[in-house]
Structure 1
Amino acid sequence: MPGYKGHIAGGALFGVMGVVGGVMLGYLALDPLHLAGLLGFCLLGAMFPDTDTDSKGQNLYYGLLIVIDAGLIFMKMYVWASWLGLCAMLPALGHHRGWTHTWWAMLLVPLPIVLIPAVLIGDRSIEPFFRFYLAFVLGYFSHLLLDGELY
Protein backbone atom coordinates (compact mmCIF):
# COMPACT_ATOMS: atom_id res chain seq x y z
CA MET A 1 0.00 0.00 0.00
CA PRO A 2 1.98 3.00 -1.29
CA GLY A 3 1.80 6.51 0.07
CA TYR A 4 1.05 9.63 -1.93
CA LYS A 5 4.41 9.52 -3.73
CA GLY A 6 3.75 5.96 -4.89
CA HIS A 7 0.28 6.90 -6.11
CA ILE A 8 1.65 9.94 -7.95
CA ALA A 9 4.30 7.75 -9.59
CA GLY A 10 1.73 5.08 -10.48
CA GLY A 11 -0.67 7.68 -11.88
CA ALA A 12 2.14 9.30 -13.87
CA LEU A 13 3.22 5.93 -15.29
CA PHE A 14 -0.34 4.99 -16.31
CA GLY A 15 -0.96 8.51 -17.64
CA VAL A 16 2.18 8.55 -19.78
CA MET A 17 1.38 5.07 -21.11
CA GLY A 18 -2.16 6.21 -21.94
CA VAL A 19 -1.03 9.41 -23.65
CA VAL A 20 1.75 7.70 -25.63
CA GLY A 21 -0.63 4.89 -26.60
CA GLY A 22 -3.33 7.35 -27.63
CA VAL A 23 -0.90 9.34 -29.80
CA MET A 24 0.61 6.23 -31.37
CA LEU A 25 -2.83 4.79 -32.20
CA GLY A 26 -4.01 8.10 -33.64
CA TYR A 27 -6.69 8.81 -31.00
CA LEU A 28 -4.87 11.86 -29.66
CA ALA A 29 -3.19 14.72 -31.50
CA LEU A 30 0.32 15.69 -30.49
CA ASP A 31 -0.87 18.85 -28.68
CA PRO A 32 1.31 19.43 -25.58
CA LEU A 33 -1.30 21.45 -23.67
CA HIS A 34 -4.06 18.89 -24.27
CA LEU A 35 -1.76 15.98 -23.39
CA ALA A 36 -0.58 17.75 -20.23
CA GLY A 37 -4.23 18.28 -19.25
CA LEU A 38 -4.96 14.57 -19.74
CA LEU A 39 -1.92 13.65 -17.66
CA GLY A 40 -3.06 16.10 -14.97
CA PHE A 41 -6.51 14.49 -14.84
CA CYS A 42 -4.86 11.08 -14.56
CA LEU A 43 -2.83 12.30 -11.58
CA LEU A 44 -5.97 13.74 -9.98
CA GLY A 45 -7.66 10.38 -10.40
CA ALA A 46 -4.68 8.64 -8.84
CA MET A 47 -4.88 10.88 -5.77
CA PHE A 48 -8.67 11.05 -5.34
CA PRO A 49 -9.32 7.83 -3.37
CA ASP A 50 -7.16 9.04 -0.46
CA THR A 51 -8.95 12.38 -0.11
CA ASP A 52 -11.15 10.73 2.53
CA THR A 53 -8.38 10.72 5.14
CA ASP A 54 -5.99 13.24 6.65
CA SER A 55 -2.88 12.74 4.53
CA LYS A 56 -0.29 14.50 2.43
CA GLY A 57 -2.22 13.38 -0.65
CA GLN A 58 -5.39 15.01 0.69
CA ASN A 59 -3.50 18.25 1.35
CA LEU A 60 -2.06 18.29 -2.20
CA TYR A 61 -5.42 17.45 -3.76
CA TYR A 62 -7.41 20.08 -1.92
CA GLY A 63 -4.65 22.65 -2.32
CA LEU A 64 -4.92 22.22 -6.08
CA LEU A 65 -8.73 22.40 -5.94
CA ILE A 66 -8.52 25.68 -3.99
CA VAL A 67 -6.31 27.19 -6.70
CA ILE A 68 -8.63 25.99 -9.46
CA ASP A 69 -11.74 27.18 -7.60
CA ALA A 70 -10.18 30.59 -6.92
CA GLY A 71 -9.32 30.87 -10.61
CA LEU A 72 -12.90 30.05 -11.58
CA ILE A 73 -14.23 32.65 -9.14
CA PHE A 74 -11.73 35.23 -10.40
CA MET A 75 -12.92 34.59 -13.97
CA LYS A 76 -16.53 34.98 -12.73
CA MET A 77 -17.33 31.36 -13.60
CA TYR A 78 -19.43 30.95 -10.48
CA VAL A 79 -21.50 27.99 -11.67
CA TRP A 80 -18.36 25.96 -12.44
CA ALA A 81 -16.81 26.99 -9.10
CA SER A 82 -19.90 25.87 -7.21
CA TRP A 83 -19.96 22.49 -8.98
CA LEU A 84 -16.29 21.99 -8.15
CA GLY A 85 -16.96 22.86 -4.51
CA LEU A 86 -19.88 20.45 -4.31
CA CYS A 87 -17.91 17.58 -5.87
CA ALA A 88 -14.93 18.30 -3.63
CA MET A 89 -17.04 17.64 -0.52
CA LEU A 90 -18.08 14.11 -1.55
CA PRO A 91 -15.16 12.20 0.03
CA ALA A 92 -16.22 13.48 3.45
CA LEU A 93 -19.33 11.29 3.19
CA GLY A 94 -17.41 8.11 4.00
CA HIS A 95 -14.54 6.65 5.96
CA HIS A 96 -11.05 5.75 4.77
CA ARG A 97 -11.00 2.80 2.38
CA GLY A 98 -14.76 3.06 2.18
CA TRP A 99 -16.66 3.94 -0.96
CA THR A 100 -13.73 5.85 -2.52
CA HIS A 101 -11.80 2.55 -2.82
CA THR A 102 -14.38 0.69 -4.93
CA TRP A 103 -14.49 -0.13 -8.65
CA TRP A 104 -17.91 1.51 -9.03
CA ALA A 105 -16.63 4.78 -7.52
CA MET A 106 -13.81 4.67 -10.09
CA LEU A 107 -16.48 4.86 -12.81
CA LEU A 108 -19.03 7.15 -11.09
CA VAL A 109 -16.85 9.79 -9.39
CA PRO A 110 -15.51 11.28 -12.64
CA LEU A 111 -18.92 11.30 -14.39
CA PRO A 112 -19.40 15.03 -13.65
CA ILE A 113 -16.47 15.64 -16.05
CA VAL A 114 -18.82 14.56 -18.84
CA LEU A 115 -22.29 15.30 -17.45
CA ILE A 116 -21.86 18.83 -16.12
CA PRO A 117 -20.52 20.31 -19.38
CA ALA A 118 -23.26 18.50 -21.32
CA VAL A 119 -25.93 20.03 -19.08
CA LEU A 120 -24.39 23.50 -18.65
CA ILE A 121 -23.24 23.96 -22.23
CA GLY A 122 -26.17 22.11 -23.72
CA ASP A 123 -23.88 20.40 -26.19
CA ARG A 124 -24.61 16.68 -26.16
CA SER A 125 -21.29 15.91 -27.82
CA ILE A 126 -19.35 14.45 -24.89
CA GLU A 127 -16.37 13.29 -26.93
CA PRO A 128 -14.00 16.14 -25.95
CA PHE A 129 -14.83 15.64 -22.27
CA PHE A 130 -14.85 11.85 -22.45
CA ARG A 131 -11.06 11.81 -22.92
CA PHE A 132 -10.63 13.62 -19.59
CA TYR A 133 -13.10 11.22 -17.98
CA LEU A 134 -11.03 8.28 -19.22
CA ALA A 135 -7.81 9.90 -17.99
CA PHE A 136 -9.28 10.33 -14.50
CA VAL A 137 -10.57 6.72 -14.52
CA LEU A 138 -7.12 5.48 -15.60
CA GLY A 139 -5.48 7.31 -12.69
CA TYR A 140 -8.14 6.03 -10.28
CA PHE A 141 -7.55 2.50 -11.60
CA SER A 142 -3.80 2.84 -10.90
CA HIS A 143 -4.59 3.80 -7.29
CA LEU A 144 -6.92 0.87 -6.70
CA LEU A 145 -4.46 -1.52 -8.36
CA LEU A 146 -1.55 -0.31 -6.22
CA ASP A 147 -3.70 -0.61 -3.07
CA GLY A 148 -4.63 -4.19 -3.96
CA GLU A 149 -8.34 -3.39 -4.18
CA LEU A 150 -8.88 -5.02 -7.58
CA TYR A 151 -7.81 -8.58 -6.83
Structure 2
Amino acid sequence: MPGYRTHLIGGVCAYALVSILVVPLVKPTALTMIEWFAVALAGSLFPDIDIKSKGQKIFYILICASLILLSYQKQYIFMAYLSIASCVPLMVKHRGIFHSMWFLIAGAVAVVSTGYYYCPDYQYILASNMCFFIAGAISHLWLDMGFRRMVGF
Protein backbone atom coordinates (compact mmCIF):
# COMPACT_ATOMS: atom_id res chain seq x y z
CA MET A 1 0.00 0.00 0.00
CA PRO A 2 1.85 3.11 -1.22
CA GLY A 3 1.98 6.24 0.89
CA TYR A 4 0.95 9.70 -0.19
CA ARG A 5 4.43 10.50 -1.54
CA THR A 6 4.25 7.55 -3.91
CA HIS A 7 0.78 8.61 -5.01
CA LEU A 8 2.07 12.13 -5.66
CA ILE A 9 4.83 10.67 -7.83
CA GLY A 10 2.12 8.74 -9.68
CA GLY A 11 0.23 12.03 -10.12
CA VAL A 12 3.37 13.64 -11.56
CA CYS A 13 3.72 10.76 -14.03
CA ALA A 14 0.03 10.99 -14.98
CA TYR A 15 0.41 14.74 -15.50
CA ALA A 16 3.46 14.20 -17.69
CA LEU A 17 1.72 11.57 -19.80
CA VAL A 18 -1.44 13.61 -20.39
CA SER A 19 0.62 16.76 -21.00
CA ILE A 20 2.59 15.01 -23.74
CA LEU A 21 -0.72 14.30 -25.46
CA VAL A 22 -2.46 17.63 -24.82
CA VAL A 23 0.18 20.38 -24.89
CA PRO A 24 1.00 20.15 -28.63
CA LEU A 25 -2.71 20.45 -29.45
CA VAL A 26 -3.70 23.21 -27.02
CA LYS A 27 -0.52 25.24 -26.42
CA PRO A 28 -1.49 26.25 -22.86
CA THR A 29 0.04 29.08 -20.86
CA ALA A 30 2.46 28.36 -18.02
CA LEU A 31 -0.25 29.19 -15.48
CA THR A 32 -2.63 26.68 -17.08
CA MET A 33 0.06 24.00 -16.94
CA ILE A 34 0.58 24.72 -13.23
CA GLU A 35 -3.18 24.44 -12.72
CA TRP A 36 -3.24 21.09 -14.53
CA PHE A 37 -0.31 19.89 -12.42
CA ALA A 38 -2.13 20.78 -9.19
CA VAL A 39 -5.32 19.08 -10.40
CA ALA A 40 -3.43 15.89 -11.33
CA LEU A 41 -1.82 15.84 -7.88
CA ALA A 42 -5.23 16.35 -6.25
CA GLY A 43 -6.59 13.48 -8.32
CA SER A 44 -3.71 11.25 -7.26
CA LEU A 45 -4.62 11.78 -3.59
CA PHE A 46 -8.42 11.84 -3.95
CA PRO A 47 -9.25 8.10 -3.68
CA ASP A 48 -7.93 8.07 -0.11
CA ILE A 49 -10.39 10.69 1.17
CA ASP A 50 -12.27 7.88 2.91
CA ILE A 51 -9.44 7.48 5.47
CA LYS A 52 -7.42 9.91 7.55
CA SER A 53 -4.86 11.00 4.96
CA LYS A 54 -3.25 13.99 3.29
CA GLY A 55 -5.87 13.73 0.54
CA GLN A 56 -8.71 13.89 3.06
CA LYS A 57 -7.16 16.91 4.78
CA ILE A 58 -6.80 18.79 1.48
CA PHE A 59 -10.34 17.75 0.46
CA TYR A 60 -11.92 19.17 3.60
CA ILE A 61 -9.87 22.37 3.42
CA LEU A 62 -11.21 22.88 -0.12
CA ILE A 63 -14.77 22.03 1.01
CA CYS A 64 -14.50 24.58 3.84
CA ALA A 65 -13.22 27.28 1.47
CA SER A 66 -16.00 26.45 -1.01
CA LEU A 67 -18.67 26.67 1.69
CA ILE A 68 -17.37 30.07 2.81
CA LEU A 69 -17.38 31.31 -0.79
CA LEU A 70 -20.88 29.95 -1.41
CA SER A 71 -22.11 31.55 1.81
CA TYR A 72 -20.68 34.89 0.71
CA GLN A 73 -22.48 34.51 -2.63
CA LYS A 74 -25.71 33.46 -0.87
CA GLN A 75 -25.82 30.11 -2.72
CA TYR A 76 -27.48 28.29 0.17
CA ILE A 77 -29.03 25.43 -1.79
CA PHE A 78 -25.71 24.56 -3.43
CA MET A 79 -24.08 24.85 0.03
CA ALA A 80 -26.53 22.30 1.39
CA TYR A 81 -25.82 19.83 -1.43
CA LEU A 82 -22.08 20.27 -1.02
CA SER A 83 -22.34 19.78 2.75
CA ILE A 84 -24.27 16.53 2.32
CA ALA A 85 -21.91 15.26 -0.39
CA SER A 86 -18.87 16.04 1.76
CA CYS A 87 -20.14 13.61 4.42
CA VAL A 88 -20.07 10.62 2.06
CA PRO A 89 -16.33 9.86 2.53
CA LEU A 90 -16.95 9.53 6.27
CA MET A 91 -19.63 6.88 5.76
CA VAL A 92 -17.99 4.44 3.33
CA LYS A 93 -15.34 1.79 3.82
CA HIS A 94 -11.80 2.23 2.59
CA ARG A 95 -11.16 0.93 -0.91
CA GLY A 96 -14.88 1.03 -1.54
CA ILE A 97 -16.50 3.39 -4.03
CA PHE A 98 -13.63 5.86 -4.01
CA HIS A 99 -11.34 3.12 -5.32
CA SER A 100 -13.65 2.30 -8.22
CA MET A 101 -12.40 3.68 -11.52
CA TRP A 102 -15.94 3.93 -12.86
CA PHE A 103 -17.15 5.88 -9.83
CA LEU A 104 -14.21 8.31 -10.05
CA ILE A 105 -14.80 8.95 -13.75
CA ALA A 106 -18.59 9.27 -13.33
CA GLY A 107 -18.13 11.57 -10.31
CA ALA A 108 -15.71 13.83 -12.17
CA VAL A 109 -18.06 14.01 -15.16
CA ALA A 110 -20.99 14.84 -12.85
CA VAL A 111 -19.05 17.63 -11.13
CA VAL A 112 -17.96 19.09 -14.47
CA SER A 113 -21.51 18.85 -15.84
CA THR A 114 -22.75 20.79 -12.83
CA GLY A 115 -20.01 23.33 -13.47
CA TYR A 116 -21.13 23.63 -17.09
CA TYR A 117 -24.59 24.52 -15.86
CA TYR A 118 -23.48 27.14 -13.32
CA CYS A 119 -20.45 28.50 -15.23
CA PRO A 120 -20.94 27.91 -18.97
CA ASP A 121 -18.11 30.31 -19.85
CA TYR A 122 -15.57 27.98 -18.22
CA GLN A 123 -16.36 24.76 -20.09
CA TYR A 124 -12.86 24.36 -21.54
CA ILE A 125 -11.20 24.93 -18.16
CA LEU A 126 -13.52 22.47 -16.43
CA ALA A 127 -13.09 19.79 -19.11
CA SER A 128 -9.30 20.04 -19.20
CA ASN A 129 -9.07 19.98 -15.40
CA MET A 130 -11.33 16.92 -15.36
CA CYS A 131 -8.97 15.06 -17.70
CA PHE A 132 -5.98 15.72 -15.47
CA PHE A 133 -7.94 14.88 -12.30
CA ILE A 134 -9.06 11.55 -13.75
CA ALA A 135 -5.51 10.76 -14.88
CA GLY A 136 -4.21 11.44 -11.37
CA ALA A 137 -6.97 9.32 -9.78
CA ILE A 138 -6.27 6.43 -12.17
CA SER A 139 -2.57 6.61 -11.26
CA HIS A 140 -3.61 6.19 -7.61
CA LEU A 141 -5.72 3.13 -8.39
CA TRP A 142 -2.97 1.65 -10.53
CA LEU A 143 -0.45 2.01 -7.71
CA ASP A 144 -2.84 0.52 -5.14
CA MET A 145 -4.28 -2.35 -7.12
CA GLY A 146 -2.32 -2.94 -10.28
CA PHE A 147 -3.79 -2.72 -13.74
CA ARG A 148 -5.67 -6.07 -13.79
CA ARG A 149 -7.61 -5.48 -10.54
CA MET A 150 -8.20 -1.82 -11.42
CA VAL A 151 -10.21 -2.66 -14.54
CA GLY A 152 -11.92 -5.69 -13.00
CA PHE A 153 -10.15 -8.68 -14.62
TM-score by length of 1: 0.78
Count of aligned positions: 147
Equivalent position of 2:88 in the other structure:
90
Residues 117 and 63 of structure 1, relative CA distance in 2, 3 Å threshold: closer
Work out which of the residue numbers 78, 96, 103 in structure 1 matches 2:75: 78
- Partner AA of 1:6 in structure 2: T
Q: Choose between structure 1 and 2: higher helix proportion.
A: 2
Alignment partner, residue 7 of structure 1 = 7
Cα 1:29/1:135, change in 2 over 3 Å: same
2:28 aligns to what SS in structure 1?
coil
Structure 2 residue aligned with 1:142: 139
Q: State the one-letter code of the partner of 1:147.
A: D
Structure 1 residues 38 and 125: alpha-carbon distance in aligned structure 2, compared to 1, 3 A threshold: closer
Contact 1:42 / 1:135 at 8 angstroms: preserved in 2?
yes
| TM-aligned CA deviation for residue 98 of structure 1 | 0.7
Question: Percent identical across equivalent pairs?
Answer: 25
1:104–1:148 distance in 2 versus 1, CA, 3 Å: same
Rounded Cα–Cα distance in structure 1 between residues aligned with 2:123 and 2:109: 11
In the other structure, the counterpart of 2:117 is 119
Distance in 1, matches of 2:144 and 2:96, equals: 13
Contact 2:45 2:54 (C-alpha < 8 Å) held by counterparts: no
Q: CA RMSD in A?
A: 2.7
Retained in 2: the 8 A contact 1:51–1:61?
A: yes
Deviates more, 1:55-64 or 1:82-91: 82-91
Question: Residue 125 and residue 54 in structure 1: after superposition, are their counterparts in 2 closer, same or farther (change >3 A)?
Answer: closer
Which has the higher mean CA deviation after the structures are superposed, 55-64 or 34-43? 55-64
Instruction: Could you tell me which runs of 5 or more consecutive residues in structure 1 were left unpaired when the two chains were aligned.
Output: none
Q: CA deviation at 1:119?
A: 2.0
